[in-house]
Amino acid sequence: MAKKISDYRPISLITSLYKIIVKVLTGCLRGLLHETIHSTQRAFVQGRQILDAILIANEIVDEKKRSGEEGVVFKIDFEKAYDHVNWDFLDHVMEKRVLVNGNAKGWVKASRGLRQGDPLSPFLFTIVADVLSRMLLRAEERNALEGFRVGKNRTRVSHLQFANDTIFFSSTREEDLLTLKSVLLVFGHISGLKVNLDKSFWVAHTLPGPSSGWEPKSGRFWDPVIERISSRLDGWKKAYLSFGGRITLIQSCLTHMPCYFLSLFKISASVAARIKRLQRDFLWSGVGEGKRDHLVSWDVMCNPKTKGGLGLGRISLRNSALLGKWLWRYPREGSALWHQEMGKEFDSGKTCGEGINLWGSVIQDYLE
Chain segment 296-321, per-residue pLDDT in tens = 888 888 888 888 888 888 888 898 89
CA distance 367 to 124: 43
Q: Which of 57-66, 186-195, 217-226 has the highest mean pLDDT?
A: 186-195
Q: What is the pLDDT of residues 319-365, one digit of tens each?
A: 889 988 888 888 888 777 777 766 655 555 554 444 446 666 676 66
pLDDT of 10 higher than 70? no
Amino acid of residue 212: S
Percent above pLDDT 70 for the chain: 75
Confidence of residue 207 (pLDDT cuts 50, 70, 90): very low
Sign of CA dihedral 211, 216, 220, 223: positive
- Could you count the other beta carbons within 10 Å of the beta carbon of residue 101? 6
> Which of 40, 74, 49, 56 shows the shortest CA–CA distance to 357?
56
Identify whether the C-beta of residue 335 lies closer than 8 Å to the C-beta of residue 286. no
Segments making up each domain of the chain, as ranges: 15-206, 216-367
CA distance 155 to 342: 11
E runs forming strands in 42-121: 72-77
Supply the pTM of this predicted model.
0.71
Confidence of residue 186 (pLDDT cuts 50, 70, 90): very high
Q: What residues pair up with 150 in beta bridges, in sequence order?
A: 155
Q: Of 123-127, 178-182, 363-367, give the lowest mean pLDDT range.
A: 363-367
Query: 76: which residues sit within 8 A by CB, 6+ positions away?
Result: 165, 166, 168, 184, 195, 196, 199, 200
